Amino acid sequence: MIKRWIYFIACMAGGATLGWFAAGLGGLAVGLAGGAAAWLAADTLQLTLWLNWLRAEQINETHHMMAVNEGALRGAWRDIAERTHRLLKNRDRRYDELQTRLDEFLSAMQASPSGVVLLDHDGRIEWSNQMATEHFGFDAQRDVHQHIANLVRDPAFKAYMAAADFMGSVVIPGHFNTASHPVKLSVNMHSYGQGRKLLLSRDITSVELAEAMQRDFVANVSHEIRTPLTVLAGFVETLQTLPLAEPERRRYLGLMAQQSQRMQTLVHDLLTLSRLEGSPFPGSHEWTPTNALLAQCEQEAGALSLLLTGRGQRLQFESGPVCEIAGVQAELYSAMSNLVSNAVRYTPGAGSVKVSWKLLPDGRGEFLVTDSGPGIAAEHLPRLTERFYRVDRSRSRETGGTGLGLAIVKHVAQRHGAELLVQSRPGQGSTFGLLFPSSRVRLTSTQASMTKASV
């Protein structure tokens, strides 16, 4: 500012001097006015240059630096331009820092496993992450500024928004929800800022399914145990209150023993499942010969067949080449015997059951159980390994099944890297099998020597 005053006084003095020399005292006033006009014109020019410089700042930052460096601005206006440039540069740096922070924050929300939607004070979408677009079927670009109520039309969600009580959450179907593949979302709303809202969505389909399975499991276990307990309690009460002849007494005791065995089998299968789910996967250091496993299965199948049919079905066992399977012997036997016993239980008295072991050309081992039973409809096949799932509940209970056999087989197969094979058609019987990987199957040393000798 001092420089401006110096320039102003210099212009006034110069104008007065010129007027004095030109016209004496009469020209002094004219010279002063001329000096002031000259200073004002020069200052106005500097102001115009500074304004042009500011306008250029919006286009290209290097342009203003050129204006400053070329010396177009002088004096106080040059100082003003330099200080303005520093302020603008600091502003740009702070803006870039804030923009970087915002981008990092949005990237973090984009990577969130939950859906995130930012709403303005009117409930219109300002931003949404990729997960939210999948949950609700949004288009991240097209649906910006659309009202959330126009895009999420579930009645429960509308009631949740209308109540404006966001202390809890609401469960609604997801965008890809179908009858065969249900999708459930848990939606929470949180207020922030000046009337804005943060909507969070979480896919709880697996949680809902796990809870439903747990409820079904408890209900099924309770039902399976309650039935034999009811029978036992009734027979005990009968034996305690009524004088029975010896034949009737023996008959009642036999039925009680049968129900007790049924509960023992159920508890054994439940403990087996629990042990399979809670223990580490088996290694490959323990090898079990296949002929021993098939011999045990054949002995058990013969006894069960006689018990159920009185005269037994046609049982055929083909042990194939003597191999060894890497894994836990008790688990392998449990899986194979469950497949064999299921075939015996569901095959009529005049039917047949064929059990075979094969070593495939690629080194894998195949255990197959084929029966001539009633077969299974296609809609039941995907659910056969569910706990307590039965195609024919009455038939299963009559034959002593617990509904856990195939669940045990599935877990044993997974633990040994095997594949559970299922083929069945109504009226044409069923084939169940286990396909073991080549890494867990090998010929015994004796069998290997015989194979080399024959070659």
How does pLDDT run across 261-297, given as a tens digit for each residue? 888 888 888 888 888 887 788 887 889 999 999 999 9
Determine the pLDDT at residue 281: 84
Query: Any idea what the CATH number is for the domain that residue 181 is in?
Result: 3.30.450.20
335 and 446 fall within a common domain: yes
> Which among 139-153, 221-235, 410-424 has the top mean pLDDT?
410-424
300 and 443 fall within a common domain: yes
181 and 235 fall within a common domain: no
* Number of structural domains in the chain: 4
Q: Please tell me the pTM assigned to this model.
A: 0.57
268 and 294 fall within a common domain: no
438 and 374 fall within a common domain: yes
For residue 397 the two structure tokens come to 């209970």
440 and 398 fall within a common domain: yes
Shortest CA distance to 130 belongs to which of 146, 111, 143? Answer: 111
Q: What is the mean pLDDT of the chain?
A: 82
Strands 430-436 and 170-173: unpaired
Compute φ and ψ for 147, nearest 5 degrees.
-75, 135
**Strand ranges, E, within 88-163:** 115-119, 125-128
Determine the pLDDT at residue 65: 46
259 and 322 fall within a common domain: no
Q: Helix, strand, or coil here: 70?
A: coil
Determine the pLDDT at residue 265: 82
Shortest CA distance to 46 belongs to which of 65, 31, 32, 67? Answer: 67
Query: Any idea what the CATH number is for the domain that residue 272 is in?
Result: 1.10.287.130
Q: Which helix (H) or strand (E) holds 425?
A: none
Burial of 87 (0-12, 13-18, 19+ CB in 10 A): exposed
157 and 189 fall within a common domain: yes
